[in-house]
Structure 1
């Protein structure tokens, strides 16, 4: 079994990476945050926090974002 870090630093980095992948895909499509969170539909602050890496995305939220962006959820998770 691999050794896991004692702190949650790795989890924060993963959260930021997921948010970065969402933002990069949104910008690649020249879309606004508003167009994504309204189409998802999820709350403005929820979407902004996910994209900024400040909040965990619920398992039901990530597929909604992926669908709006025309991406597969694994692309958002693993890049």
Structure 2
């Protein structure tokens, strides 16, 4: 099976934007990465990688993060 090619630059840029948005919303809610990770049921290093745009979260993870931060899902990617 051939390996997947890396995403194009515009996708990586958008991923970083989403991560920055998640971080901003988390900070606006006065929540730590640790609190969000525990509430969302994901490990803190994953939260860090998502916020830095290094990891592409699944839809399930985005739903968990939105719930943990207390915002609608659309706010994470808007």
Question: What is the match of residue 10 of structure 2?
Answer: 10
| RMSD of aligned residue pairs (Cα, Å) | 1.1
Secondary structure at the aligned position of 2:56 is classed as: coil
Structure 2 counterpart of 1:74: 74
Correspondence for 2:47 = 47
CA–CA distance in structure 1, aligned partners of residues 74 and 47 of structure 2: 18
Q: Which consecutive residues of structure 2, in runs of 5 or more, have no partner in the other structure? A: 1-6
Q: In structure 2, what is the equivalent of residue 31 of structure 1?
A: 31
- Scaled by the length of structure 2, what TM-score is found? 0.86
| 1:58 paired residue number | 58
Q: CA deviation at 1:19?
A: 0.5
Alignment size in residue pairs: 72
Q: 1:71 Cα deviation (Å)?
A: 1.0
Distance 2:46 2:66 in 1: 15
User: How far apart in 1 are the matches of 2:32 and 2:66?
Assistant: 15
The equivalent residue for 1:3 is none
In structure 1, stretches of 5+ residues that fail to align are 1-6
